[in-house]
Amino acid sequence: MQSYLDFEKPVADLEAKIAELKSLAATDSAVSIDEEVNRLSARADEALAEIYRKLTPWQKTQVARHPQRPHFSDYMRSLITEWTPLAGDRKFGEDPALQAGFGRFNGTPVAILGQEKGNSTETRLKHNFGMANPEGYRKAVRIMDMADRFSLPVLSFVDTAGAYPGIGAEERGQAEAIARSTEKGLELGVPNLALIIGEGGSGGAIAIATANRVLMLENAIYSVISPEAGASILFRDAARAQDMATAQKITAQDLLGFGVIDGIIAEPTGGAHRHHVAVMEATRTAIDVFLKDFAGKSRLETREHRREKFLAIGTSL
């Protein structure tokens, strides 16, 4: 069943009428509904296109958080073969919020990192809504070390509201673990690609996104703090999250203009949650282009490319 966002109500109403007509036709074969269904479908498509043509930053935030948006596990099933997840940081334990391991992309061996939010109550609790603990980031460092040792490209799928802010996480060194993971991503001698597929929140995202190339899905967001938390601090009112989202410049289009990201992966009209297959193929193409672009670079060239990329951010605003 399709889940609709508040601003999609005109589309929801039209598609509800279409469903009613189809239900009526199923019980009475004498009723001809084709013409009316086609008319309503065309109107629904036009309404959806009009809505998505002028999404506000806050509406894009809602799209990025849509419960039916493809998550890390969906990308693994569609893009990666021989996916072999590894568990544990060899210091404390396993963190299901941050998945890591090895697999093949179009036959090429790669190391993979990804934040999994879950798509049901059970899996969301299991994966802690994609908010990793320190052991998750230490596991990421372990996998990146192995990738560097065996000369494997690293693919990171970013989708988190931020690192887990619990007392236990702080006691086990959350900030240090994020810093180590960020540092490891910057010093790799192998190429790494970060894809912001939903939310890219704060240090929890940057810890696995310090990459040679950072790409965002068209309706994803990337920021140092969530609009709600930012509004609480800046405006003393979490209800002003909509204003904060606009002020933060968190959309892919804004961040591409600032040079924070390197490209945008287009989403079909209606968002990735309506078009899983098309988004997977667009992502496949983007990864393939990246791997070909960096195939001939030496370890020094790869490291220097990444270094220059991040040093250049903010120098030409």
Q: What is the DSSP string of 60-100?
A: HHHHHT-TTS--HHHHHHHHEEEEEE----SSS---TTEEE
Q: Is pLDDT at 29 greater than 90 in this prediction? A: no
pLDDT of 10 strictly over 60: yes
Closest CA to 179 of 226, 132, 142, 134: 134
Distance CA 192, CA 155 (A): 6
Residue 314: predicted pLDDT: 86
User: What six digits make up the tokens of 234?
Assistant: 């800046």
Pairwise pLDDT comparison (203 vs 34), residue with the higher score? 203
Q: Contact at 8 Å (CB) between 183 and 142?
A: no
Residues 6+ apart with CB under 8 A from 119: 67, 68, 71, 73
Q: Is the pLDDT of residue 317 over 90?
A: no
Structure confidence by residue, pLDDT tens digits, 92-143:
999 999 999 999 999 999 999 999 999 899 999 999 999 999 999 999 999 9
Enumerate helices (H) and strands (E) in the chain, giving the number of each: 14, 8
What is the model's pLDDT at position 238?
85
Q: Give the tens place of pLDDT for each residue, 141-188.
A: 999 999 999 999 999 999 999 999 999 999 999 999 999 999 999 999
Q: DSSP states of 131-169 as a string?
A: ---HHHHHHHHHHHHHHHHTT--EEEEEEES-S---HHH
189-225 core/surface letters (b: 16 or more CB in 10 A; e: else): bbbbbbbbbbbbbbbbbbbbbbbbbbbbbbbbbbbeb
pLDDT at site 194: 97
| Enclosing H/E stretch for 222 | strand 221-223
Rounded mean pLDDT, 5-19: 89
Write down the pTM of the prediction.
0.92
Given pLDDT bands bounded at 50, 70 and 90, which one contains residue 72?
A: very high
Lowest model confidence (mean pLDDT) among 35-44, 214-223, 246-255: 35-44
Which tens digits make up the pLDDT trace of 289-305? 999 999 989 999 999 99
Per-residue pLDDT at 33: 74
pLDDT at 3 over 90: no
Residue 226, number of CB atoms within 10 A of its CB: 23
Q: With contact defined as beta carbons under 8 Å apart, do 209 and 196 qualify?
A: yes
- Give 219-254 pLDDT, tens digit per residue: 999 999 999 999 999 999 988 999 999 999 999 999
Amino acid at site 158: V
Lowest-confidence pick of 25-34, 43-52, 78-87, 199-208: 25-34
Spatial CB neighbours of 65, under 8 Å, sequence gap ≥ 6: 198, 199
pLDDT at res. 35: 78
β-pairing, 263-265 vs 213-217, is parallel
99 vs 32, residue with greater confidence: 99
pLDDT for position 264: 97
Residue 258 has pLDDT above 90, yes or no: yes
Strands 80-85 and 98-105: antiparallel
